Amino acid sequence: MTNTELKEFLDAKVIQYNNPTFIKSDPIQIPHQFTLKEDIEISAFLTATIAWGNRKMIIKNAHQMMELLGNSPYDFIMSHTKQHLHLLENFVHRTFNGIDFVYFIKALQHIYKNHNGLEAVFSNNVKTDSLQTAIHQFKIHFFEIQHPSRTQKHISDPLKGSAAKRINMFLRWMVRKDTTGVDFGIWETVSPSYLSCPLDVHSGNTARKLGLLNRKQNDAKALYELDTNLRKLDAEDPAKYDFALFGLGVFEKF
């Protein structure tokens, strides 16, 4: 395909998948339960954190997370007691366990009390035209209180070579201005043009077949290559192509 044909093909796939029917089979359904900004972003962050493996299990366990937080995640984070935290100790999703969950609640409280919330941490640390440095800085703030060493693996760092798929997905949910009601676009201080397409097995394989990605590993260098090529197709909203690449890979076995 020519570049024009490729853009037309992918734009059509974005329209096909970027619509409300996508929500019912995707983890993004979890934050769609809430209306308060802080509830949306916290539930989205926690859901994205466990978004690897079987999608039905991700959704099931994310629902369980919200139930353990009394379906009021922001209130729980800001006003929990030690007794409340004990209720989280038996939670498990793959390698993310109760120890990690308890620390995430403490760290999120730290972020909201001392760094003005999740949006501020990211928007205050944007460098050039990418959010990857901001992700790195977020991880520093997230772990600047006493923490279990095992929990650090659950926040990726692009500056250490990771594609940071789950955090980039979370950022797409929060930042991207979506007229169809899938992504939230509730973070006004971050430009959608800075977003990166969440890079995983499905989007990576599809991108390679379409000539958008040559690098074989799904790492930070691959993400930069994919970002560069997607920005040529739409510099203002490059992350919209996540719908096309993911949809082609998962639903169409492209």
Question: What pLDDT is stored for residue 254 in this prediction?
Answer: 84
What is the rounded distance in angstroms from the CA atom of residue 183 to the CA atom of residue 204? 21
Average pLDDT, whole number, for the chain? 96
Give, to the nearest 10 degrees, the angle between helix 55-68 and helix 37-49: 130
* Tens-digit pLDDT profile for residues 135-145: 999 999 999 99
Question: What pLDDT is stored for residue 110 in this prediction?
Answer: 98
pTM of the model: 0.96
| Nearest C-alpha neighbor of 170 from the set 142, 207, 208 | 142
Q: What percentage of the chain has pLDDT greater than the value 90?
A: 93
Residue with more model confidence, 60 or 127 = 60
